Structure 1
Amino acid sequence: MAVLLITYDLNKEVRRPPFLETLKKLYPDWAMLSESSYAVSTNSTPDQIYKSLGHLLDANDNCLIVTLSLPWYGQQDELVIQWLKQRL
């Protein structure tokens, strides 16, 4: 399985689409890296993930899906660090 970074900004929303709820439902093995950045462990490709979430975005939103790999370095909650260490 790959670990992918999903980062997004829902801009100028009058009504928030269920982007985060859908992400967590479709990709249940996840870790929150920041308010709008999640790592997911999945067999899906970045393209497949974007297609599964893209209908929730509009023209002024941002979303990138990037494959994560070693090495990485940073400061984060210990549970997130352990999640990454176990999957990368």
Structure 2
Amino acid sequence: MKNVDKRFRIAHREAWIGVGLVVFNFLWWFGFAYGLGSADPSAYHYVLGMPAWFFYSCALGSIVMMVLVSAVVKLFFKEVPLDDEEGSS
């Protein structure tokens, strides 16, 4: 295996974390939007004047994702220099 720059390994790991966040966001949205939203509209429950499926999938889902992304970036992402390392030429 070639000598791979550690920055690429870090970027690869962080990209997979990003993919995981996207999948989690889709599953959250899909679960609430189609799970609660597939009922007869006359049977909808409302939260803050919005149908529950919309509130949980879109409004609350956005807040959850903002908090989750902030926490993941703070805890798991590393700052790496973007300039060439010394002696790599």
Tell me, yes or no, whether TM beats 0.5. no
* Shorter-chain TM band: under 0.3
Bigger helix fraction: 2
TM-score by length of structure 2 reads 0.27
State the structure with bigger RCO (CA 8 A, min sep 6), 1 or 2: 1
More strand by share: 1
| TM-score calculated relative to the size of structure 1 | 0.27
Higher alpha-carbon Rg: 2
